[in-house]
Structure 1
Amino acid sequence: MSSEVRPFTIDVADEVLDDLRSRLANTRWPESEPVDDWSQGTPLAYVQDLCAHWADGYDWRDREARLNRFDQFTTEIDGLELHFVHQRSPHEGAMPLLLTHGWPGSIVEFHKVIEPLVDPTAHGGDAGDAFHVVAPSLPGYGFSAKPAETGWGVERIAAAFAELMARLGHDRYIAQGGDWGSAVTSVIGAHDPDHCAGIHLTLAMGARPDLDGEPTAQEERVLEKMKYYADWDSGYSKEQSTRPQTVGYGLVDSPAAQAAWIVEKFWAWTDNDGHPEDVLTRDELLDNIMLYWINGNGASSARLYWESFSERRELDIGVPTGFASFAEEIVPPVRSWVEPVYPNLVHWAEHDRGGHFAAFEVPETFVSEVRTFVRPLR
């Protein structure tokens, strides 16, 4: 296995873009939903409007150039080619920071926070808060290779990402993650405590409700959100965790299907006023969708659910841990539920704005969160 780290530039072939436009133009649309809201899924009129813009108004070459402002690389770890951003800070003493995304996200989530994290003085901050940022694409996501064998669940990904940090010369680092990134980050905190100096999370996938006694108002609200998710919002998860190959055919073949599958979750999981474009621009939504479309990652990204839902194990997490609980997270973390899993909880913050994609939605809050958590650990 080669340990070479190779520079990478996003350079999508014209043929891929021509094929995308052709498929969008020839989409076979379903009939309109018989409701006037999102209760049956992403509305036809919006998907058609979004796809029309994707075909004729969205400038991928401009967006590609924006993403290429970050230093990107690939390297082979455990037999799989991993793609990652590695943006080094100009400031001496910068702390290495590993950022891990989830589904249906990508490294696009971090495009607003990488620069202020790396060079705080250029963004009104202090040089003492500087980070070297490493942001990998999960296996089967973005420009990372697709696993050709089973076994690439959360624990194997965590081991690969810890190896990546070592390969880059980062002997002591902070790990941060949301969604699947929170699970990967938790495993890193448990399995690489000699090098991982602390973890910061926005979702508590391993925590369970404490149902003894009368729930507080906060706990009642979170329990209601848990029930809503289970009843109305988790169908994607059941399908991807049981039959990822089946759902992959439509997602890989139809850009309209891939867009509708992803954008529904940005409607459901962002802190918006009824529409995902209340929070993110149309082009930002399409940037993220493009990282699923370009390499046909509909099935390969879904397989992470199939791999990981059956492998959950108890973790011994002793590293310093910080949590940011955002009000419109799918299930906002509750401190009393989190503490048994993360006994070295040294930072807790609750925010009344922001949802599942914190770095994407409220980048200034996210940057401040990470800086605040890390200062005592430097």
Structure 2
Amino acid sequence: MISASEAELGELRARLQATRWPTPWPVEGWEAGTEERTLRRLVEYWATAYDWRTHEAAINGLPSHVADIDGTPVHYLRFDGERPDALPIVLTNGWPSSFLELIALAERLATPSSHGGAAADAFTVIIPSLPGFAFSPQRESLKDGLQTHELWHRLMHSELGFERYAAHGGDLGAGITSRLAEAHPEHVVGIHLMAVANPVTYDVAGLTAAEKRYLESLDEWAAHEGGYQHEQSTRPLTLSYGLADSPTGLLAWILEKYRAWSDCHGDVSTRFSDDFLLTQASLYWFTRTISTSFRPYYEYAGGMTRRVERVTVPTALALFPADLTHPPRSWAERTYNITRYTRMPRGGHFAAHEEPDLLAHDIIEFFRDHRSDHAPPR
């Protein structure tokens, strides 16, 4: 699936070792962005000791497949459930992630008996790579072609033959999962989310106190943490040139998010190993997809992506304390048919990697009542 040449590896290491570091600022830690001390340590490890070949072999050993969906290649992983009638589920990650973030969750869902659960709760897990992320190419046109949720439905229903299936997503994946359920409620038995779409319209005068506080928190978050989103939504190409040219810049851009959005209490190493972070960065680097990973932001801001209006299928919302937003149940119910609402005790934006046991348990519990709603594949 991936095989970086020795020349590509040598070029990466040379670029890392030739990093032109900026003039230091008189600030402490991560106050003004990625901390130089942590970044220098990771860059040094990436350039001298990080073993890409080991991780490359592990990636190539995953159950990868490529489907042709109306001329669009879609890479996906398939983890068959430990029972033949396992409920199919499609998992979708967000940014700046990849399919790798979802591996531990997939293993717990596909073979729950190996992780303290029951085989009766098994899922057949499908993890597609988002268009423009690693192994799935981005659509050639901004406006033409199937939107991602339609690619997912064609993959699950037409390609893999699942008449009824479940779906889960966070961040970008939550939006894709929501649009999937809205467009195909006759095929989606339910969805499990870690974030929700805001209502298309609402009466400000009718908001509860909790909803008002939530909207204020969104404004505060956008003011202090939303710079990346504004840039990726408005001028992504300007940013792309630097990140596609500098592996140090690329690592700095995504590392800051892994720290800020995870439940790491300021120390990113408590949630992510150096090898995990550098493998994510290496995937972006060797596949040259950091630029194309920005496309969903630009397309949504430009009205090229369908807005979610009303999701009628049963919906579960799991909120992790260090994640970006924490909408009250009443707010989520304005758009979704919320039948399960869970506030998790720990974890953050990357919960599938940070807390796979907690997340798997919540998904299993939610879908237990919907397992009879699907038919075996054709």
**2:343 aligned counterpart, secondary structure:** strand
- 1:357 correspondence with 2:361: no
- 1:165 correspondence with 2:156: yes
Kept after mapping to 2: 8 A contact 1:33/1:44: no
Task: Return the alpha-carbon distance in structure 2 between the equivalents of residues 243 and 375 of structure 1.
Answer: 44
Kept after mapping to 2: 8 A contact 1:118/1:132: yes
Task: Return the alpha-carbon distance in structure 2 between the equivalents of residues 293 and 248 of structure 1.
Answer: 12
Q: Which amino acid aligns with 2:22?
A: P
Alignment-derived partner of residue 375 in structure 2: none
**2:287 aligned counterpart, secondary structure:** coil
Task: Return the alpha-carbon distance in structure 2 between the equivalents of residues 117 and 176 of structure 1.
Answer: 12
Residue 163 of structure 1, CA deviation: 0.4
Calculate the aligned-residue CA RMSD, in Å. Answer: 2.0
Moved more, 71-80 or 178-187: 71-80
- 1:45 correspondence with 2:37: yes
Kept after mapping to 2: 8 A contact 1:152/1:304: no
Work out which of the residue numbers 237, 240, 244 in structure 2 matches 1:252: 244
TM-score normalized by the length of structure 1: 0.91
Alignment-derived partner of residue 346 in structure 1: 339
- 1:101 correspondence with 2:89: no
Task: Return the alpha-carbon distance in structure 2 between the equivalents of residues 231 and 211 of structure 1.
Answer: 24
**How is 1:8-23 mapped onto 2 (pairs within 5 angstroms)?**
9-23=1-15
Task: Return the alpha-carbon distance in structure 1 between the equivalents of residues 106 and 3 of structure 2.
Answer: 21
Q: Which amino acid aligns with 2:148?
A: I
Q: Which amino acid aligns with 1:374?
A: F
Kept after mapping to 2: 8 A contact 1:219/1:334: no
Percent identity between the aligned chains? 38
Alignment-derived partner of residue 363 in structure 2: 370
- 1:335 correspondence with 2:326: no
Shift in alpha-carbon separation, 1:83–1:317, aligned structure 2, 3 A: same
Kept after mapping to 1: 8 A contact 2:347/2:354: yes
Residue 226 of structure 1, CA deviation: 2.0
Residue 295 of structure 1, CA deviation: 1.1
Task: Return the alpha-carbon distance in structure 2 between the equivalents of residues 351 and 219 of structure 1.
Answer: 22
Alignment-derived partner of residue 142 in structure 2: 150
Alignment-derived partner of residue 82 in structure 2: 90
Structure 1, residues 40-84: CA drift from partner, whole Å, max 9, x if none?
110122111111111122111222233334200112224322111
Moved more, 322-331 or 13-22: 13-22
Residue 219 of structure 1, CA deviation: 6.7
Residue 15 of structure 1, CA deviation: 2.7
Shift in alpha-carbon separation, 1:363–1:30, aligned structure 2, 3 A: same
Kept after mapping to 1: 8 A contact 2:240/2:291: yes
Structure 1, residues 268-319: CA drift from partner, whole Å, max 9, x if none?
1111111211211111111222221111112111121111123353423111
Task: Return the alpha-carbon distance in structure 2 between the equivalents of residues 131 and 213 of structure 1.
Answer: 38
Q: Which amino acid aligns with 1:372?
A: E
**2:104 aligned counterpart, secondary structure:** coil
Task: Return the alpha-carbon distance in structure 2 between the equivalents of residues 370 and 59 of structure 1.
Answer: 34
**1:322 aligned counterpart, secondary structure:** strand
Alignment-derived partner of residue 130 in structure 1: 122
Kept after mapping to 2: 8 A contact 1:325/1:351: yes
Q: Which amino acid aligns with 2:364?
A: R
Q: Which amino acid aligns with 1:272?
A: C
Shift in alpha-carbon separation, 1:82–1:211, aligned structure 2, 3 A: farther
Residue 152 of structure 1, CA deviation: 6.9
Task: Return the alpha-carbon distance in structure 1 between the equivalents of residues 299 and 237 of structure 2.
Answer: 12
Residue 16 of structure 1, CA deviation: 2.3
Q: Which amino acid aligns with 2:155?
A: L
Task: Return the alpha-carbon distance in structure 2 between the equivalents of residues 261 and 337 of structure 1.
Answer: 32
Kept after mapping to 2: 8 A contact 1:32/1:45: no
Residue 27 of structure 1, CA deviation: 1.4
- 1:267 correspondence with 2:259: yes
**1:246 aligned counterpart, secondary structure:** helix
Alignment-derived partner of residue 168 in structure 2: 176
**2:222 aligned counterpart, secondary structure:** helix
Alignment-derived partner of residue 5 in structure 1: none
Task: Return the alpha-carbon distance in structure 2 between the equivalents of residues 10 and 98 of structure 1.
Answer: 23
Structure 1: gaps of 5 or more residues? 1-8
Work out which of the residue numbers 187, 212, 233 in structure 2 matches 1:241: 233
Residue 169 of structure 1, CA deviation: 1.6
Kept after mapping to 1: 8 A contact 2:178/2:308: no
Number of residues of Structure 1 aligned to a counterpart in Structure 2:
366
Moved more, 183-192 or 155-164: 155-164
Work out which of the residue numbers 323, 344, 352 in structure 1 matches 2:317: 323
Task: Return the alpha-carbon distance in structure 1 between the equivalents of residues 35 and 291 of structure 2.
Answer: 23
**How is 1:195-210 mapped onto 2 (pairs within 5 angstroms)?**
195-207=187-199
Task: Return the alpha-carbon distance in structure 2 between the equivalents of residues 19 and 226 of structure 1.
Answer: 41
Work out which of the residue numbers 64, 73, 97 in structure 1 matches 2:65: 73
Structure 1, residues 201-241: CA drift from partner, whole Å, max 9, x if none?
0011335897756734x974x45642332111111111111
